[in-house]
Structure 1
Amino acid sequence: MKENFIWKDPQLHKDILEMEDIVTENTEDEIYNLIIKNVEKIGDDFYKYEFVKVHFLNCKFEEVSFEKCWFKEIIFENCQFNHCSFKNTDLQIVKQINSLHRNTDFSDSTFHFVHFLECNMKYSNFNDCKINGFKSDKSDFNSTFFANSTIVHASLKKTSFCLADFFLTPLNKIDFSDSDIEGIVISENKSELKGIIVNSYQALELARMFGIIIK
């Protein structure tokens, strides 16, 4: 991440209201300034909802749709998502803490300042996404899909991308040296690797993809 790139974290109000449901009689597809705690939803549809300054805490979602939603200054903490959809969603200044995603679909979405801290994102779909400001600490992105996406201003620490699919996604200036990229999927001409930053061990592994034999 460039030194002149200023990171943004969610700034929630101190007098935030706590609720144990997302939708109330007063809800009109706009949810602001709330702690949403211990919610369990199955099969619900929040199409085009707007969430601003919301803290989701200990929530469980299964086959829930958040398609074309707008999330701004959001924290997901200790949440679980099973086969949920965030397709065509705009996520701005979003932090996920110790959250579990199973087959979550983020495809065709736009991210500005997204931070994953100790999250499990296995098999999630980030295809065709535009990501500006991507931070990950101690998270698992094994077997995820980042095909045909753009990623700029990334900060990765102790994160695993084993078998992740980066087909046609430029990895220029992304520092993977503190992460695991074993078995990543790229195109035949390997153009995705131009400008990638890796450690010496990773460089040896990537060299084998070019058919280079190192003695």
Structure 2
Amino acid sequence: MKSFTDGMQYLDAQFKKLELPDTHYTDIEFEECLFEDCDFSRAKFKQCKFINCDFIRCNLSLIDLTGSKLFGATFQESKLIGVDWTKATWPVYHLDFELKFQRCILNDSSFFGLTLNELIADACKLHEVDFREGDFRKSTLSGCDFTHSLFMNTNLENVDFSESTDFAINVLENKVKGARFSRYEASSLLELLGIELVD
């Protein structure tokens, strides 16, 4: 297969080494599909559905998901730079969309205002990612690099930040009750309050 067909349904299909940058698709449903070593950079998937799909070593940078729905999607060792996740459709009757990112690069992305409880990001790069106004309760964001990422009015209750680094989270401007941080990195939370730590 060299491309997809608009309006089609793909069930339990495997797509390997597809090179489809800058392509446009509409109203396609993918369920239980595997995407491996594919390039969908700058592609547009509008009004599509990705249900229980796995993306392994794919390039999804600057992908446009306007009006699309994702549930149970797993991304492994993939590039998702500059993705505006707010363009996708996130039904209000769901709080947990079972999204999982493992060893991915999500720099310059936006989750502004989204409710994505129990989101999983493991050993990911999350530089300059916008988490403001979002609700990420009970998420696992461990082993990640949050350099210059934005948190403001963000619900981070019971989030596991263990082994994560370089976050700037003001505990007065975000909900952090029950959140877990590595002991050394937790000191940065106090520095934002103007508290000086001494040995």
Query: TM class, shorter-chain normalised?
Result: 0.7 to 0.9
Residue 201 (structure 1) shift? 4.5
- Hey, what's the Cα distance between the residues in 1 that align with 2:158 and 2:24? 35
- Hey, what's the Cα distance between the residues in 2 that align with 1:99 and 1:198? 33
Note the 1:1-215 alignment, pairs <5 A: 23=1, 27=2, 31=3, 36-117=5-86, 118-120=88-90, 122-187=97-162, 192=164, 194-198=166-170, 200-202=172-174, 205=177
Taking a change above 3 Å as real, the CA distance of residues 194 and 70 of structure 1, as seen in their structure-2 partners, is closer
Count of aligned residue pairs for this structure pair = 177
| 2:186 counterpart residue number | none
- Hey, what's the Cα distance between the residues in 2 that align with 1:104 and 1:97? 16
TM-score, normalising length from structure 1?
A: 0.70
Q: Give secondary structure in 2 for the equivalent of 1:46.
A: strand
Q: What residue ranges of structure 2 are gaps of 5+ in the alignment? A: 91-95, 184-199
- Hey, what's the Cα distance between the residues in 2 that align with 1:140 and 1:116? 11
- Hey, what's the Cα distance between the residues in 2 that align with 1:164 and 1:207? 9
Would you tell me which structure has more strand in proportion to its own residues? Answer: 1
Taking a change above 3 Å as real, the CA distance of residues 170 and 72 of structure 1, as seen in their structure-2 partners, is closer
TM-score, normalising length from structure 2?
A: 0.75
Letter matched to residue 156 of structure 1: F
Residue 74 (structure 1) shift? 1.4
Q: What residue ranges of structure 1 are gaps of 5+ in the alignment? A: 1-22, 211-215
Contact 2:159–2:180 under 8 Å retained in 1: no
| Cα shift readout 1:60-99 (whole Å, capped 9, x = no counterpart) | 1111111111112112222211111111111221122232
Percent of aligned pairs with the same amino acid: 18
Taking a change above 3 Å as real, the CA distance of residues 115 and 39 of structure 1, as seen in their structure-2 partners, is same
Computed over aligned residues only, the root mean square deviation of the Cα atoms, in angstroms, reads 2.8
